[in-house]
Amino acid sequence: MQTSGIKPPSPERDGRPGQGPGRDLLPLLMGVAVAVAAVGAILALSDSGSPLRGPFTLFFLIAAPATAIGAALRGLKPYPRTVVSVAGGIAIDLLVAQGMLAVHRWSVTGGIVAVTVLSSLVLLPVLARRYRGRVAGKRG
């Protein structure tokens, strides 16, 4: 006796490689990373005594500039883009710390704000370019 049931399409039969169950996990992980980074920034800015303040703030300090740099480097392959963006994020953090120490204005709050502003300045032209591309695509 043969049973006939509905089988989900496999990547080989569907003709679209890389559309397996692992692809559904990436947006969830990205959302968790954004939430952890946001909580880290909020804990640092509110001067909380939580034991999660240190690790979450460190994650924010590395992830925020690395994400902005990674968005600007869309043309690279994934592995080199990851390496360059993490190295660039660490470099931005070190430059902010060095600059604040050089002018004798070091503070945790000031460092978080400076890294946030620099990350936003790196990300804004990328977002503006993408927005212009979408608007131009709808017109033509």
pLDDT average per 10 residues of sequence, the chain (140 residues): 61 52 78 93 91 94 94 91 95 96 94 95 91 74
2 falls within a domain: no
Per-residue confidence (pLDDT) for residue 131, from 0 to 100: 84
CA 37/CA 32 separation, integer angstroms: 9
Q: Check the CA dihedral 46-47-51-52 and report its sign.
A: positive
Task: Tell me which residue range forms the domain holding 122.
Answer: 53-140
CA 17/CA 121 separation, integer angstroms: 36
How many other C-beta atoms are found inside a 10 Å radius of the C-beta of residue 99? Answer: 13
Per-residue confidence (pLDDT) for residue 6, from 0 to 100: 67
Q: How many domains does the chain have?
A: 1
Per-residue confidence (pLDDT) for residue 14, from 0 to 100: 47
CA 81/CA 64 separation, integer angstroms: 15
24 falls within a domain: no
Q: Which pair of tokens denotes residue 11?
A: 């990547």
88 falls within a domain: yes
How many other C-beta atoms are found inside a 10 Å radius of the C-beta of residue 125? Answer: 11
37 falls within a domain: no
102 falls within a domain: yes
Per-residue confidence (pLDDT) for residue 67, from 0 to 100: 93
11 falls within a domain: no
121 falls within a domain: yes
Write down the pTM of the prediction: 0.75
